[in-house]
Amino acid sequence: MPSQEELFAAVDELLTQPRLVLPLPEERLRLRKAAGLTQDDVARALKSRRETVNGWETGRTDPRPPRLQAYLRLLEGWAAKYPAQPALDTGSFTGPAAVLDARTAPTDPASVPVTAPVAENHPPVQRPASAASRPTGTTRPASTSRRPARPKTAAPAVESRFPHGPLAVLDGEGTAFCLGGVLLECAATTIPQLVDWTLKESGIGAPRLNKNGKDSDPLIVLTAAAAVRFGLPERLEGHEARRNLRLPEDHPVVKQITKAKWKLTQRGFGPWARIYRPAKGSQRQCVQLAILPWDALDTRAWGDAATLHPADLARVLGVYASRVITPRGSTAVSGLELMTATRPPTRPVQDEATSQWVSGPNPGALTRPIDPAPPEATPEHPAAQGWTGGFLDEEAYQWVRDPKLLSDEECLLPWAVGIDINTAFLAAAARLTVGLSEPVHVMAPAFDKKIPGSWLADLSHIALDPRLPNPFTPTGECPEGPGWYATPTVAYAVELGYDVTPAEAYLRHETGAYLDPWHDRLKDAFLTTTADMGVPTDKDTDEDAFLTAMALHKTYAAAHQDDVEVLRTALRELAPGRADLAHLAGQSDEDLAAAVRRHGQGAMVLSAIKSTVKGGIGKLRERPQGRHYTEGERWPALERATWSPHIRAMLIAKARVNMHRKMAKLAALTGLYPLAVLSDCVAYASPGSSPLDFLPRNGDGTPVYGTFRIGANPGFCKVEGVQDMAWAVDLMEQGYNPARHIKGGDAVADEGE
């Protein structure tokens, strides 16, 4: 038996020997991607094979000398050049604007959301906390999880069934980028293999938003390179309308799907493809694909999100999915899907005869397709064929005051200030009682503001100040005779003190606040994302601080990441008396450019949320699509329980009435009348360039209740734009709407778009 001295000597010899220690496999992958190189590039440099390099990055094997020393040298060089970033909170886009108002900032440093700078040529992948988890029994791992460490205070609750979040963005090398910096390796080379991997190994998906609802199907977003990897064409051609783009049925990829016994929905394999098998009991088998090169992400809602690095895009889409819903198509489609996800049409009920649990209607929900009353329908609808009694015209304002009604005092004021109501239609959805049952035709009904419906009434005799838009028509002009109105419009006429006697009505006696959970989720998403971008959202926030934060928000949005001098100059203009802004202006070009990119990603999420509100409301009255449609035929949207034009009319009517109520009270208190109104934007003549220069205040300096209030909440206001008053008067005299163009631009070129 060896002595203690001999054993100590052997140990000392081991301790003195140099030992080469490689980083964890996750870090090896991160460093290569940070350098913008492929596995083939590394293999060529080290005189090896791509499969060998893949083994090193997945942890199946490690290199042997002399490649070990060379590979370690390569990794060390990359590590010095691309150090790991701090862990990201999965749901914030906090930029330098966050320091605008220390009074609204969290006091606990651990609770402040942190956003790491996004490097120009590599994704924000973070140093992993532990070795990768790898499936057993395969020669090449189909899925390798790389989960970064996160501060416990910032970690959101993780659904155990979906540990890798709601979606992934897949690149051409088979790397799936998930929310939170998680990377997965996907070995699939065909669409059926990708679907199998997603359902069985990826851990991607999202839990239901209501106990009676369904889990969100996993979403895989394919980059252009990934689309090529799976045999998809670079572009889809052959259709006039973007919504009709799809692969032909004889395309090899469609044949692969059919051969593997998967199905496609009626819209086929297009920019948003749903691939499924019939559910087994409560177990759904469905995967959704979004094809970026086929314009899956509409720039009107998502901006330039499709051009982002996969890691950044995963974050943008993932934050939206976590706060709103996993995208199911356009933001309009997602807005409509959110309605049924938060208020499902069915729930489990026990059959009294068999004591078995079966599916039954969910109280308070839209449970079945219901045809509208003739005046609520669109002209193409079967219910409207032969109808000559007129239609509802509940739309948003497009009104300009007659220039002859401008006073000399108004024309001499220096500024025209446009104020915009934040998500006005979302604010109108709060506590809105809508009809859930079929319309019942009633002759000579007594008006009841608690009953949702459509009323035929004559409001043309109501004389109102012509310096305000008429509240009963979207044009702002006085009605010319009897017309159909939604309940909020008639209720406002009664509120103004006028006697209204409807001639007939279509009423719904089963009612409920159907949109409340939809409103609540979107409101939370809107405010959370707004706060992430450094804009204070507390209702009691100082209005000057809010306006300054919004000015900085617009400055970042307008700045180009490669031209930071514009941003620096703007920061200096905002900085007098603000040491925090002066500090921001003194940052390096690299830090400012990173802040612009970071802010831009948050703006994409915010834009998508607002587009979800408007698009979802629009889908309630979706018109027939396709050039081959024949008037009078039914179209697919009519078979949805959520095809409900009367709910859309109620929402828009309430939003328009809310705006008129504020304008009327402001006029009564101050004598100020709007120059023009466009949807949720209203322009006023002002002695100063801020809305605070003309909005009334109480004696203690607080806003007057019932008028326009500055702030971030839905229904509150922000500055839309400021122009010279002479500019506004000139537009009005030419017949253009200043509210449409107060942000700037060519009024003539833009009018009517």
Residue 692 belongs to some domain of the structure: no
- Domain C-terminal end among 568, 603, 623: 623
Residue 723 within a domain: no
* pLDDT at residue 578 tops 70: no
- Taking the C-alpha atoms of residue 274 and residue 269, their distance in angstroms, rounded to an integer, is 8
Least confident of 577-586, 612-621, 642-651: 577-586
SS3 273: strand
- Best-predicted range by mean pLDDT (81-90, 501-510, 618-627): 501-510
CA distance 65 to 70: 8
Q: What is the 3-state secondary structure (H, E, C) of 685-731?
A: EECCCCHHHCCCECCCCCECCCCCCECCCCCCEEEEEEEEHHHHHHH
pLDDT over 60 at 185, yes or no = yes
Contact 210, 325 (CB under 8 A): no
Alpha helices (H) along 329-368: 331-342
Global pTM reads 0.81
Residue 461, judged by CB atoms within 10 A of its CB (0-12, 13-18, 19+), counts as exposed
The count of C-alpha atoms lying within 13 angstroms of the C-alpha of 298, restricted to the half-sphere facing its C-beta, is 18
Q: Could you read off the pLDDT of 635-669 as tens digits, one per residue? A: 999 999 999 999 999 999 999 999 999 999 999 99
Task: Provide the pLDDT confidence category of residue 568 given band limits of 50, 70 and 90.
Answer: confident
Higher pLDDT, 137 or 74: 74
- Split at pLDDT 50, 70, 90, the class of 402 is very high
Report the alpha-carbon distance of residue 672 to residue 676 in Å, rounded.
Answer: 12
Is 80 exceeded by the pLDDT of residue 298?
A: yes
Q: Give the model's pLDDT for residue 159.
A: 63
pLDDT surpassing 50 at residue 154: no
Could you tell me if residue 186 is inside a domain?
A: yes
Instruction: Give the residue-averaged pLDDT of 490-506.
Output: 96
pLDDT higher for 659 or 36?
659
Q: What is the pLDDT of residue 155?
A: 39
- Whether 555 has a pLDDT exceeding 70, the answer reads yes
Is the model more confident about 68 or about 645? Answer: 645
Residue 145 lies in a domain: yes
Q: Identify whether 532 is part of a domain.
A: yes
Q: In what order do the strands lie in the sheet with 482-486?
A: 440-443, 504-507, 453-458, 482-486
What 3-state class would DSSP assign to 253? helix
Task: From 597, 623, 649, give the residue that closes a domain.
Answer: 623
Per-residue pLDDT at 599: 86
At 257, the amino acid letter reads I
Q: What is the mean pLDDT of residues 294-322?
A: 95
For range 378-389, the mean pLDDT? 94
pLDDT-derived band at 591, boundaries 50, 70, 90: confident
Look at residue 574 and give its three-state secondary structure: helix
pLDDT band at 748 (very low <50, low <70, confident <90, very high): very low
pLDDT band, very low/low/confident/very high, at 14 (cuts 50, 70, 90) = low
Q: Which amino acid is at 181?
A: G
Mean pLDDT of 731-747: 85
Flag whether 412 is in a domain: no
Buried b (16+ CB within 10 A) or exposed e, 292-328: bbbebbbeebbbebbebbbbbbbbbbbbbbbbbbbbb
- Tell me what percent of the residues of the chain surpass a pLDDT of 70: 83
Output the pLDDT for position 92.
54
Q: Write down which residue in 292, 310, 342 finishes a domain.
A: 342
Give the mean pLDDT of 435-456: 97
Task: Tell me the C-alpha to C-alpha distance, in Å, between residue 206 and each of 52, 289, 290, 329, 729.
Answer: 35, 15, 17, 16, 52
pLDDT at residue 276 is higher than 90: yes
Rounded CA separation 392/522 (Å): 27
Task: Look at 446-450, 522-526, 623-627, 685-689 and tell me which has the smallest mean pLDDT.
Answer: 623-627
> Which residue in 52, 49, 50, 45 sits closest to 73, CA to CA?
45
Domain hosting 577: range is 516-623
Q: Please report the pLDDT score of residue 106 as a whole number.
A: 31
Check pLDDT > 50 for residue 301. yes
pLDDT > 90? residue 175:
yes
DSSP annotation of 207 reads -
Please name the residues in contact with 108: beta carbons below 8 A apart, sequence gap of 6 or more. Answer: 153
In the predicted structure, residue 104 carries a pLDDT above the cut 60: no
Q: For residue 577, what pLDDT band results from cuts at 50, 70 and 90?
A: low
- pLDDT above 90 covers a percentage of the chain that reads 62
Gyration radius (Cα) of the chain, Å: 30
pLDDT score of 325: 98
Count of structural domains, the chain: 2
Strands (E), 363-496: 398-400, 415-421, 434-435, 440-443, 453-458, 482-486
pLDDT tier at 354, thresholds 50, 70, 90: confident
pLDDT band at 238 (very low <50, low <70, confident <90, very high): low
Distance CA 51, CA 40 (A): 9
The residue that leads in pLDDT, 293 or 105, is 293
Mean pLDDT (the chain, rounded): 85
Establish if 661 belongs to a structural domain.
no
What is the helix (H) or strand (E) element at residue 552, kind and residue range?
Answer: helix 543-558
Mean pLDDT of the region 322-346: 97
DSSP codes of every residue in 35-48: HT--HHHHHHHTT-
> pLDDT at residue 737 above 50?
yes
482: in domain: no
Is 595 or 109 the better-scoring residue by pLDDT? 595
Minimal CA–CA distance to 416: which of 740, 77, 51, 43? 740
